[in-house]
Structure formats: C-alpha cells, structure tokens
Amino acid sequence: MNDRIENGSRKEINGKPRIYYDGYWIRYYAPPAETLSAKKELLDMLTRRTFHHTEPGINTPGANLDLARCSWEQQQDPARRRVNAAMLAGALFNRAADIFGNIVELEQNGIHIDPENQLMQECGACLKEALELGKQVRHPSGHEGVDELWGEPFKVFTHTLASYYESRYVKISQTMQAIDSTTERMINSFKRIPAFRGIDTMIRQYAAAAREECELMKSDPDFFRSWPEFVALGERISQFSPDFPDHESPLARSELLRGLALIIDGKNLLSYMAGVRVPMPKSIEDYFRALNEFDITCEEIGINLVHV
C-alpha cells in the first residue's frame, strides 16, 4: 500500500486549510483572481518585502535609473561597484513597478495593453535585469545574498498567480527543512553541556515559531498571535544565562561564552530564514563550521560534557 502523500494535497488541520509539500503541511492561501490589478497588488507587496529584507540604501527610485546605471558603469572599486550594482537593481525594480502601475491604470480606464506592447516588454526587461543584478545584493545582516527573493517579482510578472503561489509553497517547505536541520545541529552541540541545560527546549520552541512565521501571510489575523510569540521566544533565548560550574577553568568559561554567542547567532539565522522564506545555504554552512570548531575545542580543553 502506498502511503506517500502527493505534493499539492490539501486538508484542514486544527480548522486551518493546509497544503502539503515535501514533508510539511503548510498554511494554504487561495491565489487571487488572475487580473492585472491583482498582479500589481502582489508585485507592490513583494517589492516592499524585498527591500525590507535586503541591505539598506538600495531602494533607488525608478526615476533615478539612468543615474544609477551611469554610477555603476563608472565605478572601478570592486566593493563599491557591488553596492552600485545593488542600487541599480533597486532602481530597475522600482522602474518596473512604476511601469506596471501605469499599465494597470490604463487597463482600468478601458485601454487594453497587449503582452507584446513596448511597455510590457520594458517592464519585463527591467525585472529580468534586476534579477541578474540582485545576485550582488546582501541580506541586512551582511550574510550571503538572497537573490531568490529578488526572483519572486519576476516570477509574478512572467507566470500565473496560481503558479507563483505553488512556487511559494515549495520555497517555504525548503526553508522549513533548513530551519529544522539548523535547529537539530544547534541542539547537538549544546544539549551535552550542563551549563546550557534547558536551551534545547527553548531552541525547539523558537524553531516551531519560526516555521509558522515562515508560512503565515502578514494579512492573516493569526499574525497578531504568532508574531508576539516569535519575538518573545527569541528574546528568551537572547536573555539565557549559562550556569557556569565553579570548577571550570577560565579557558573553559571563555569557550562557554563563545558557545553562548553561537546560540544567539543560530537564533538570528533561524529568524533570517523565517523572514526571507528561502534557505540560506552559505550562512548555514558557515554556522555549522563554527559549531564544529566549538565542539572540537570543548573536547580538547575538557569542558564537562554529558554524553547523550
């Protein structure tokens, strides 16, 4: 008997509609009707969200597109050129939003715009170039770029709203998997150390809240319950105080303080992934490497460990 659940399966769980993708039952939201107005509303929302989750200073008005391009082309310093590329991506993003807004306004006035129209072509070209330059854009934390986030508006423009929603569920399931794997790796490092007793429960609770934050739309009334819980659980981890045994050496205490900093780093990484709703593989790899070094050092200097 085949008990495998097919991706896209739907059912209610605790009175909430859910859809299944790759091991997770995700909060389901029906896509809006396929209209240009609905696409504009979604594009506007994704534009705000993208700038919210990327480095500051790159939300360049579309009216400054030519200046942004000229500055990028003339910049020779590699580090500054990357930032100029991010600013140009922002200008292209906003120019596309400006064009699409005008197209919708024309449609609402009874003037039909064919997909082959020059305005539509320019809008698509702006989004495509912004997507390519988006690889230069970083997360506000300074971590890796999140260019997948920049791809969402282009996907809305080039696909149906239904297919965009489907791709959203795929990304959420991948992000939930990344949250869970990061959580388990954190717990493996700290559950053996008596000084951090109880932190595993806090991390698991925070991860569960992060998964819910990842799947909820901000317009969902449940957001007013989930967000305060998510923030409060994160603050609880940030305020965690290790119980250092009196017999631990100064070197051991220093390493345990390093472990506490790694817990905060892990909590922040879970928060970042929940916010952008895409996995952050490079950041995860860097964090796992730091945990591996911490584990080795704990063994080498003889920190009291409980073998579980």
Per-residue pLDDT, averaged over 69-87, amounts to 96
**Do 183 and 290 reside in the same domain of the chain?**
yes
Per-residue confidence band for 305, with pLDDT thresholds at 50, 70 and 90:
low
Per-residue pLDDT, averaged over 241-266, amounts to 85
pLDDT at 149: 75
What strands, in cross-sheet order, belong to the sheet with 16-21?
Answer: 10-13, 16-21, 24-27
- SS3 at position 185: helix
Does residue 282 surpass a pLDDT of 80?
Answer: yes
pLDDT at 95: 94
| Structural domain contains residue 260 | yes
| Structural domain contains residue 17 | no
pTM across the whole model? 0.87
The H helix count followed by the E strand count for the chain is 10, 3
Question: CA–CA separation, 12 vs 25, rounded Å?
Answer: 10
pLDDT at 64: 96
| Structural domain contains residue 27 | no
Per-residue pLDDT, averaged over 195-222, amounts to 95
- SS3 at position 17: strand
**Do 137 and 212 reside in the same domain of the chain?**
no
**Do 176 and 102 reside in the same domain of the chain?**
no
**Do 40 and 112 reside in the same domain of the chain?**
yes
pLDDT at 264: 97
pLDDT at 81: 96
**Do 175 and 292 reside in the same domain of the chain?**
yes
**Do 282 and 179 reside in the same domain of the chain?**
yes
**Do 135 and 210 reside in the same domain of the chain?**
no
User: Of 136, 159, 182, which one is at a domain's C-terminal end?
Assistant: 159
Q: Which domain holds residue 121?
A: 36-159
User: Of 159, 188, 207, which one is at a domain's C-terminal end?
Assistant: 159
Highest mean pLDDT among 1-15, 129-143, 150-164, 183-197: 183-197
Least confident residue range of 36-50, 155-169, 293-307:
293-307
Does residue 207 surpass a pLDDT of 80?
Answer: yes
Does residue 307 surpass a pLDDT of 60?
Answer: no
**Do 83 and 195 reside in the same domain of the chain?**
no
Dihedral pair phi/psi, residue 222, rounded to 5°: -65, -15
pLDDT at 145: 65
User: Of 159, 182, 216, which one is at a domain's C-terminal end?
Assistant: 159
What are the pLDDT digits (tens) for 102-122?
A: 988 888 888 888 888 898 899
